Amino acid sequence: MPVKKVTVRVPAKINLQLSVGPRESDGYHNLVTVFQAISIFDEVTVEFTPANSGVSISITGDQTHGVPADANNLAIKAVELMAKEYDLEVDAHIEIKKAIPVAGGMAGGSADAAATIVAIDYLYSLGMSREEMTEIASQLGSDVPFMLSGGTAIGTGHGEQLTAALSRGTYHWVLALSTVGLSTPAVYTECDRLRSGSEIAEPQTNEQLMQALLAADPKAVGANLVNDLQAAACSLRPALRLVLDVGQEYGALGALVSGSGPTVAFLVSDEEAGLDLAVALTASGVVGSVARAYGPVHGAKILN
């Protein structure tokens, strides 16, 4: 009997490095980024529905506010793209159980799109290669290809051209979550405004960070975290500066705004230090909520 339903688990990401080049004529920026997939997961279930019923979607879980439950959701866009590419008639319901913060710089929408690609490939027995999945993913957004593979990787171009990073060890993170997201386009626009009049170099991989990851040295990794969008995120959301200061005051090895924010990621030495920092941040009253996670973890993976 053919399989009619599948659930795919997919992680969040943080950027250990996000270096942003000058604004190009097409409005985009060349990037060099180092992604790490971490242990906060969405679950995407795709189930066949009766013929001619079309594609529907529902959102459940802890992080549903602001997630589009219509054709604007990247998961539905993934289905439409695959239906066109592989000449499929898709009648299905997509249920997304959200735990990844929304508009938090952690690629929650991109993660769901990646999970949907894996689900459709499985349900239709397409036998897609990783390259074919990546080709579809890159049309949906620059973070989507990474969410297929997970782990730790270097992204170039707009972030979609991936090279696996030579990384060892497990890294422990404490995440200060915000109740209100930040718009990625707005953060890039503010970044351009803050840098206007300055000469911006083309981005390069941070070699000190790569050496620290290879050596499994969390202290050195913490010292080399960098995000060129951080100043813009803090300009739009000044309270983030206080969050960064408090976390470092309480012993984080390093801190940065993840991606376009507003999630702030703190690297700590081990699980116990993570628990201590989470308690301290919660008691400080400067953060909405706190989560702990570790990385790297695998990308989109079928659960059943």
Residues classed as catalytic: 13, 143
DSSP character string of 231-291:
HHHHHH-THHHHHHHHHHHTT-SEEEE-TTSS-EEEEESSHHHHHHHHHHHHHHT--SEEE
Residue 125, both tokens = 């027995």
**Angle of CA points 31, 15, 119, to nearest 5°:** 95
Q: Is residue 57 within 8 Å of residue 44, measured between CB atoms?
A: no
In the sheet that 171-177 helps form, which strands lie side by side, from edge to edge? 254-257, 264-268, 171-177, 289-295
Other CB atoms closer than 10 Å to residue 258's CB: what's the count?
30
Q: Is residue 148 within 8 Å of residue 118, measured between CB atoms?
A: yes
Label residue 290 exposed, middle or buried (CB < 10 Å: 0-12, 13-18, 19+). buried
3-state secondary structure (DSSP) of residue 158: coil
Report the DSSP pairing between strands 226-227 and 5-23.
parallel
3-state secondary structure (DSSP) of residue 51: coil
Any idea which residue has 């249920």 for tokens?
A: 95
Label residue 20 exposed, middle or buried (CB < 10 Å: 0-12, 13-18, 19+). buried
Cα separation, 158 vs 11, whole angstroms: 20
Quick one: which of 77, 118, 68 has its CA closest to 96?
68
